[in-house]
Amino acid sequence: MFDEDTITAISTAPGVGAIAIVRVSGQRAFAILGEIFSERKNKTTVSDSKNNFVPESHRAYIGYIKDPSGALDPLGADKIIDEVVVVTYRGPNTYTGEDLVEINCHGSPVVTREILNLIMTRGARLAEKGEFTKRGFLAGRLDLTQAEAVLDVIHCKTERQSHLALSVLQGHLGKRIKEIRSRLMELYTRIVAGIDFPEEVGDLDLADLEPIINESLDELKDLAQTARSGRFLRDGLKLAIIGRPNAGKSSLLNRLLNFERAIVTDIPGTTRDSIEEPVDIRGIPVVVIDTAGLRETEDLVEKIGIERTTRSAEEADLTCILLDGTETGPLGEESLMAERLKELARPYFVAVNKCDLLDEKAIAKIKEEKIIAGSLGDPIIISALSGEGIEALKDVIENFALFDNSRKEISASLNERQGALCLKSVEALSRLAESAQAGLPQDCLASDLRLAVDALDAISGQVVTEEILTEVFANFCIGK
Ligand SMILES: Nc1nc2c(ncn2[C@@H]2O[C@H](COP(=O)(O)OP(=O)(O)O)[C@@H](O)[C@H]2O)c(=O)[nH]1
Ligand SMILES: [Mg+2]
């Protein structure tokens, strides 16, 4: 599976920049560099007996990339392509586990392309997406959770996500998985030994088995739960704001964005189509959807808008039902909408707006009366105008997205692949716990234990198919 050829790519983003980096990794990386690079001064470079460039590991050199094919510039000198700093890393203690060269050149697309082409004419091929990281993984430099974390760090939308991804990159998730695996593996070995050598080893006691299984189950369930937050952190959380015309939906969107995105007027029906805006709320990339107000109408455009509102709420991860605190009448459209969301198992919460116009007595009354069945928590009293209560509203969103049932803050955010495998392991262990209770033979226990361990191995990539690798690295950029 391990490619022996040398790969190269432009690792920096396309376009003009101050500096760009061209990377080369593989057996011929140093040889190729030797052919195209010459140091500017202080010739400290070591050469072998054949005068080949032998760079030191983890060292930077200043010099020139030259075309060695004999091309000359107009003045008859060797054609210089760029003045560069190259950093050389000798394998196996490198990102890829191989000899690795990073050429820091000027950030012009023309220069980087010329250097890349030159390297390719010397026998390197263009790297595939994520191939540098893939090589590092195959060389055992990082496990699969770390490789996936590299992708998360690159694509993170908020600081919170980047912190979680960096913690996974440092190996914390891999370590937790490894610890659980080693506990289960020990158990497995003992059970298998008992099956193979019943006289010497004997059956495993249920009392020995239970605590280990339960502890592992708890931990894996905790981890599996973080896949939900992981999805919100990676893909964003869709928050729909719905309510009657003039409740203050557009004002709330603007408040969350901290700028006047949506048109706010006191004319009901101003927002006729949904507006979607991304906003970072406590480190969660939230897409806020401001919708057309819910009410009976004969106006065709408004009608279509209201249909869209319904759809937005049905498709949102979370819906804020916004009430106008100055309206004292009974709830109508809002309750109908809530019922619909409840049927679809879509979560929602209630916020009551315009508290700046209300006295304490009115607020107390609202807290008692404006209750919509099935909503998350009590109604939140806010003012989109003054900003009061907005932090409490953000609390609801944050708690919904990032905290588990025990209100413990998540310390990992599994991706879809990891989450599915984690659940697989949980299922196998739950089955095993039942089998053990029911006194089923030990080989039954062993096979479920094996399944649980295999799922964990797939998370860390200890056992991995080419298909999984292709899937994981398909989302990378070229050059990483
Ligand atoms: N006093 C007060 N007025 C508000 C508040 N939020 C919105 N409004 C006013 O209510 C009217 C309708 O607001 P808008 O955001 O357009 O409501 P929408 O139809 O639900 O989008 C506007 O005149 C806003 O200035 C608030 O918290 N306090
Ligand atoms: Mg509006």
The ranges assigned to domains in the chain are 7-142, 155-232+415-461, 236-402
Residue 237: strand pairing partners: 286
Of 276, 152, 286, the closest CA to residue 232 belongs to: 286
CATH of domain 7-142: 3.30.1360.120
387 close to 199: Cβ distance less than 8 angstroms: no
Gyration radius (Cα) of the chain, Å? 30
Please give the distance, rounded to the nearest whole angstrom, from the Cα atom of residue 299 to the centre of ligand 2: 16
Protein residue whose Cα sits closest to atom 19 of ligand 1: 246
Joined together, the tokens standing for residue 307 give 């249909």
What pLDDT digit, counting tens, does each position of 155-170 carry?
A: 898 898 899 899 999 9
245 Cβ inside 6 Å of ligand 1: yes
What does the pLDDT read at residue 74? 72
What pLDDT digit, counting tens, does each position of 343-397 carry?
A: 888 999 999 999 999 999 999 988 888 888 889 989 999 999 999 999 999 999 9
The percent of residues in the chain predicted with pLDDT above 90, rounded, is 58
Please give the distance, rounded to the nearest whole angstrom, from the Cα atom of residue 246 to the centre of ligand 1: 6
The preferred substitution site among 242, 264, 273, 382 for testing ligand 1, maximizing ligand atoms within 8 Å of CB, is 264
Please give the distance, rounded to the nearest whole angstrom, from the Cα atom of residue 280 to the centre of ligand 1: 23
357 Cβ inside 6 Å of ligand 1: yes
Please give the distance, rounded to the nearest whole angstrom, from the Cα atom of residue 253 to the centre of ligand 1: 11
Write a three-state SS string for the chain: CCCCCCEEEECCCCCCCCEEEEEEECCCHHHHHHHHEEECCCCCCEECCCCCEECCCCEEEEEEEECCCCCECCCCCECEEEEEEEEEECCCCCCCCCCEEEEEEECCHHHHHHHHHHHHHCCCEECCECHHHHHHHHCCCCCHHHHHHHHHHHHCCCHHHHHHHHHHHCCHHHHHHHHHHHHHHHHHHHHHHHHHCCCCCCCCCHHHHHHHHHHHHHHHHHHHHHHHHHHHHHHCEEEEEEECCCCCHHHHHHHHHCCCCCCCCCCCCCCCCCEEEEEEECCEEEEEEECCCCCCCCCHHHHHHHHHHHHHHHHCCEEEEEEECCCCCCCCHHHHHHHHHHHCCCCEEEEEECHHHCCHHHHHHHHHHCCCCCCCCCCEECCCCCCCCHHHHHHHHHHHHHECCCCCECCCCCCHHHHHHHHHHHHHHHHHHHHHHCCCCHHHHHHHHHHHHHHHHHHHCCCCCHHHHHHHHCCCCECC
Class of domain 155-232+415-461: mainly alpha
What does the pLDDT read at residue 200? 75
Give the atom of ligand 1 at the shortest distance from the alpha carbon of 384: 27
Peptide bond into 92 cis (omega under 30): yes
9-27: average pLDDT: 95
Residues with CB under 5 A from ligand 2 (ion): 249-250, 271
Please give the distance, rounded to the nearest whole angstrom, from the Cα atom of residue 293 to the centre of ligand 2: 7
Joined together, the tokens standing for residue 330 give 């009974």
Nearest ligand, CA of residue 241?
1
pLDDT exceeds cutoff 90 at 285: yes
Please give the distance, rounded to the nearest whole angstrom, from the Cα atom of residue 266 to the centre of ligand 1: 7
What does the pLDDT read at residue 43? 62
131 close to 255: Cβ distance less than 8 angstroms: no
263 Cβ inside 6 Å of ligand 1: no
309 Cβ inside 6 Å of ligand 1: no
Please give the distance, rounded to the nearest whole angstrom, from the Cα atom of residue 392 to the centre of ligand 1: 19
The preferred substitution site among 244, 251, 320, 327 for testing ligand 1, maximizing ligand atoms within 8 Å of CB, is 251
Protein residue whose Cα sits closest to atom 8 of ligand 1: 248
CATH of domain 236-402: 3.40.50.300
389 Cβ inside 6 Å of ligand 1: no
Nearest ligand, CA of residue 275?
2
Backbone angles phi, psi at 66, to 5 degrees: -125, 150
Of 382, 135, 100, 122, the closest CA to residue 241 belongs to: 382
Residue carrying the six token digits 């401001």: 290
410 close to 226: Cβ distance less than 8 angstroms: yes
107 close to 19: Cβ distance less than 8 angstroms: yes
Please give the distance, rounded to the nearest whole angstrom, from the Cα atom of residue 398 to the centre of ligand 2: 24
Backbone angles phi, psi at 70, to 5 degrees: 100, 0
393 close to 377: Cβ distance less than 8 angstroms: no
What does the pLDDT read at residue 50? 66
pLDDT exceeds cutoff 90 at 333: no
Task: Compute the C-alpha angle 8/100/161, nearest 5°.
Answer: 85
What does the pLDDT read at residue 309? 79
What pLDDT digit, counting tens, does each position of 65-86 carry?
A: 998 887 677 777 778 999 999 9
Neighbours of 44 (CB within 10 A): 9
253 Cβ inside 6 Å of ligand 1: no
Nearest ligand, CA of residue 305?
2
Q: Flag whether the pTM goes above 0.85.
A: no
305 Cβ inside 6 Å of ligand 1: no
463 Cβ inside 6 Å of ligand 1: no
353 Cβ inside 6 Å of ligand 1: yes
